[in-house]
Structure 1
Amino acid sequence: MQSLTPAFLDQLRFNEAGLIPAIAQDWLDGAVLMVAWMNRESLELTLSNGEAHYWSRSRQELWHKGATSGHTQTVRNIRYDCDADVILLTIEQRGDVACHTGARSCFYENRDQRSEGGPQALPPPADACTELMRVIEHRREHPDEGSYTNKLLEGGDNRILKKIGEESAEFVMACKDNNADEIAGEAADILFHMQVALAHHGVSWRQVQEVLAARRGAPRRHDPSA
């Protein structure tokens, strides 16, 4: 987690009760997982401990998220908004459960009637690649007649990998032509077919994100030929 100074906390605008709303956002796909309240003490505990601490308005006490359930939140980054009256926590959610109902996120309702949440609740909106992978995985589990994705999945590696090769060649040619629109389009095609291959082999998009995140900031690779 970033190192924050007391001057950082001094910038924050707490309300008349000494509280400030805090949004918890997944560190990989950007999904909003929950919103809670923090005061200066809970923020200081969060900064010193590295795990999210909030203030419970109902119990009027400090609340170490996940202390009982085990679903703790490791804080990787903290920002405040332009008015300094809202905090954004970028967190790594242990157990992938942030909601007290057992859902991944508290933001799962999109119907006229409230549900009970839980593990089967709708996932929160996320980045475009994560959303695309969800569609592909849904097609895998619930085939749709006439779906191009299902045709690829039914063809297995032979069909999927052939398309990845074709799209890769088209991406290379687009780069050679230096056409930004074509480069973006061909890159999107590669990503789509790559995700179909991942789904076919049971590899989640999140696994790929975790690998990329682990490589960020890693020691530079040494090229023996250099």
Structure 2
Amino acid sequence: MIRALIVCFVSLGSPLVAQRIHLSPVDQAEKDPTLSIFRTQLLTDIIARDTEAVVAASCNQIYLSHGGNGGHDEFRYNLTLPEESLSEEYRPQADSLREAYWQNLQKTLQQPGYFADSSEFWMPFHWQIDLPVEIGIFEAYFVNGRGVALRQSSESKAKILEQITHEVVTITKFDENAPYQHVTLGDGRTGYMHRDYLWPIVGYRASLTKAANGDWQLCSFVAGD
């Protein structure tokens, strides 16, 4: 996979804490009108929760996890998530788990993307970032917004230290129950940022692939590393 690195160096003495990584959201989809048409139709089917149309738009061996078999059967299962297939403790959550999967798919495909080559398109655009070795991949998050407030504390009205735009930050321990997360900038400064703007670097991403006959297909939708 091809990735690009855009780094802003800040003069702070230590070279290991002098990197702030930014990447502007440029959607390259318009370079190929057939891709734009395909993605628009796929998103229409996703919004309509049309399982069979979405499955039909995917590769036969669509990649869905780092341990599963992938393919149409697994994709259909993820999209429908039959309650009876879950253990008893998770059955009451079937509807919310199913809807979360659809929402993640929709959100991912709505993001700007980039061409890895002329026949492979990836979303979201920040998946192309190549992190420095000193940044742990599971601690890295992308600030997916413009002018996002970095606050002094976890209070919603706390003093704004800086406004952050499309930048990599790190979170040592993500608190699932907290709206504001403690983040560290590339220059070592810290603050709190609302979770709605934080996208895990190893979060969901998707690829669209162009076949020899010119047709596009959804060929991966996966999270993790």
- The TM-score with structure 2 as length reference comes to 0.26
TM-score (norm 1): 0.26
Instruction: Pick 1 or 2: higher relative contact order, CA cutoff 8 A, min separation 6.
Output: 2
Structure showing greater radius of gyration is 1
Higher helix content, 1 or 2 = 1
